[in-house]
Amino acid sequence: MIIPSKEDIGHAVVYMRGNPPFDEGVITSFNDSYVFVRYGKDKHSKATHRADLEWAHRTPASLKGEQRENHGQQYGRQKHRPRTLARA
Taking residue 25's Cβ as centre, other Cβ atoms within 10 Å add up to 21
CA distance 4 to 55: 10
Looking at residue 10, its pLDDT comes to: 96
- Are the C-beta atoms of residues 55 and 3 closer than 8 Å to each other? no
Give me the domains of the chain, ranges plus CATH numbers. 6-68 (2.30.30.30)
Q: What is the pTM of this model?
A: 0.67
Looking at residue 72, its pLDDT comes to: 45
pLDDT in 10s for each residue of the chain, 88 residues: 999 999 999 999 999 998 888 999 999 999 999 999 999 999 999 999 999 999 998 755 555 655 555 544 443 444 444 555 655 5
- With vertex at residue 22, the alpha carbon angle to CA 20 and CA 23, rounded to the nearest 5 degrees, is 155
**Surface-to-core class of residue 2, CB atoms within 10 Å of its CB (0-12 exposed, 13-18 middle, 19+ buried):** buried
